Structure 1
């Protein structure tokens, strides 16, 4: 431990014993056992001081009498997520002394602390002459070893999940690309068949006789769809067409009407088709309508396939971005990272029928950070915004850009806002304003730690009708 042993506190062994007895973990020990433990100097450590550095071998053991100490993994000059926070009554340094291994974490005083400090020799003497303390220390070591083993297992599971995800995305990408090419070719083939049929039918005629038929079929093949109608307008159009079809003795009138209405066909068009069928004499109106409806339906199915493949391809790309960003020191496209998270949360946005306004800034520099998991920030902030937005008229806003030499992402909602008395506590672990079973109080705290690890900051403003969280990073650190 990097403790200044000169900063001792003037406490007699009996005073130290009294302080120990006031702590729940030592309250049941006998006076003799407390005196055995209390025969060591008490050291004062100021808040912010590093007690132990990750990777070093410790030569001191400590019992925390007062204050708080946190431990965290460290990568270079960057701090990772806090592993644990210990309070008065906890022991420190036993793992390194008993296992003869370097300490796996960095320890820092969160508050001013008083620590009962033992040298390595004194620690082994304490273990030999004080059975109660020996049992307590070994019990603490066992808990920490179990915790470390659990973390290792979880990391292995996550690594395996990442490998499986990569394989799955690769397997999905190949058939997805093939299906996309096939749908595109099918659309082209249908359009070509229409052109050939039109050409064959007009070879012996200087002027085509079924101009309305070809015009409406070309409308069926059109890339641009008719202007969207309201539900009432659409129902009125379908009813009007169905009534016309029935009055002209057409079977399946109520089945054909929705298909014909979908490409904007009106009763005027049907009158034109009827006139051409009577004039031509070789084609019945029923056959023309069935042919036209089949072509419309086929093109709609092609459109459905293309849209579905596009969504699958987008999801594959989003999962790849979400899984691999930040690994191996790669640079991150901020817009792409946020957009990938939006795709993965699209189902939740749609379920609540929220509108979303996106304003992605152009020309943003790549974000090069030493931390993985920035997408966890966007996930937590977007998830909170979705929950906060009202079901009726709810709106999300996502903005990226550069301001005051910082690259930023702002995520907002038009919900009721965060109560003033809660605004100072929202980043605290386990604090949540969501109902029981919905919120854990971990999201914003995790988001803040990841942002700080990457050299960024999270700020927010909140009032009824508008809450915005902004995550920003210095451009000079974010660019290569």
Structure 2
């Protein structure tokens, strides 16, 4: 438990912000504050308690932790001689995290109720403390911007991993099957040649081995009927494994009607090996096509990530089409949208001019707004609309969801830094503030309006001149 120590103005001179202050100011600080000793690991600041004191570390140190998904994550450490806690003109009302003593620690504590009197006693010290607060706020905002980007990446990474895993697994399965079938092809070819088929019949088989079009789409029941019909016909041609051959032949668009003319010139003993060779060849073609399509899907996902992050583009502002950034961001959120069965509508006006912007920063705005909209949507029946409209001198992007809405009380504080309605550890309260500042830095404005069942965030950006 903290132990209160006798007042000692000389001890305060070790605080960097207090150095070179007149002796009467140090005396006033000593009389209106207190020195306390904390044991190693003892709690100095508790998350959720009122932020009511300025803290200055005389000896030892303090490690600050912030809750994140049920765990306390280290954020920063305050060494001896530094000032932390509430400072003059700070709007912080509730401590967001927990501060623990590092080694035996001595702190100077000044209640925030003494700040008005401190302004009269030492305007110079107040100015120093305000400067410290400004530096701290700037550093924290930068750190939160990085954290928000990492948090967004973390939320998206699970969906991306799932999206990438599907085509990667399909490629692996197809490659394994393809390897087996390629080993069997020489045997199939040997069996066919042993039957001594006419050259014209072989030429017809070779042409049939390159399907011109995919099989028509059928319902599961209709396909099963077609497979049964084809398998029965294959068995009449002497194929003992008609049900094994039918699926690949059907996938290539073949039926008994298309295969009958191909095998008609062949003697009966040659028909089973000919049909087996044809099925094997068509299966190899289909597997190679599956591998190509799966690899294209992976390339598309990688392209979406590159477009989203613009990792292959130098920094700086340039004329950009807002729809490109919106599409790449929505593509990154594709898994999250499908998980909630969200009905997505993109309504892009055809005459929207480009805006002068830094692509990565704008994508951070779209990420924050779309992520919030998805969180607000119901588990089923959610709709998300993304619209772009040309306006005089600019472009307006609207992101609209049919969630429960935002109350007027919350809406009034939505863009204030550190304001959040999410549980501790789930939101920093800086996402919308960061989005608003990015938009303002681009010469635009961000606004929100909400009623139950419809929430709209609108971003206005000036056109590139």
Task: Tell me the TM-score normalized by structure 2.
Answer: 0.53
After superposition, the Cα gap between the structure-2 partners of 1:434 and 1:270, relative to the gap in structure 1 and judged at 3 Å, is farther
Q: Equivalent residues in 2 for 1:454-473 (5 A)?
A: 454-463=442-451, 465-473=453-461
**Aligned with 2:385 (options 372, 397, 404):** 397
Instruction: Give 1:449's aligned residue.
Output: 437
Aligned equivalent of 1:260: 249
SS of 1:280 mapped into structure 2: coil
Q: 1:386 aligns with which of 359, 368, 374?
A: 374
In structure 1, the partner of 2:8 is none
Aligned counterpart, 2:256: 270
Q: How far is 1:341 from its partner? A: 1.6
Alignment of 1:330-479 (within 5 A): 330-369=318-357, 373-419=361-407, 422-432=410-420, 439-463=427-451, 465-475=453-463, 479=464
- Is the CA contact (8 Å cut-off) linking 1:64 and 1:115 kept in structure 2? no
Change (3 A) 1:426 1:257: farther
The 5 A counterparts of 1:48-447 are 89=112, 116=119, 217-218=209-210, 220-222=211-213, 225-242=214-231, 244-245=233-234, 250-265=239-254, 269-274=255-260, 276-281=262-267, 284-324=270-310, 327-369=315-357, 373-419=361-407, 422-432=410-420, 439-447=427-435
- Residue by residue, what CA displacement relative to the aligned partner does 1:102-143 show, whole Å, maximum 9, x if unpaired? xxxxxxxxxxx99827889x65xx99xxxxxx9xx79x9699
Distance change (3 Å), C-alpha of 1:315 and 1:25: same
RMSD: 5.3
The answer to whether the Cα contact below 8 Å between 1:369 and 1:454 also exists between their aligned partners in 2 is yes
For residues 307 and 285 of structure 2, the distance between their equivalents in structure 1, rounded to whole angstroms, comes to 33
How many matched pairs?
324
What residue number does 2:45 align with?
Answer: none
| CA distance in 1: counterparts of 2:112 and 2:440, whole angstroms | 29
Whether contact under 8 Å (1:212, 1:272) holds in the other structure is no
In the alignment, the residues of structure 2 paired with residue 142 and residue 430 of structure 1 have an alpha-carbon distance, to the nearest angstrom, of 15
Tell me, which stretches of 5 or more residues in structure 2 are unaligned? 1-24, 34-50, 57-85, 93-110, 150-198
User: Which residue, 53, 64, 69 being the options, matches 1:25?
Assistant: 53
TM-score by length of 1: 0.51
Unpaired segments ≥5 residues, structure 1: 1-12, 29-62, 70-87, 93-112, 128-133, 159-206
**Cα deviation, residue 473, structure 1:** 1.0
Partners of 1:435 and 1:221 in 2: CA distance: 58
After superposition, the Cα gap between the structure-2 partners of 1:307 and 1:66, relative to the gap in structure 1 and judged at 3 Å, is same
CA drift of 1:471 comes to: 1.6
C-alpha displacement of 1:332: 2.4
Distance change in 2, residues 1:418/1:149 (3 Å): closer
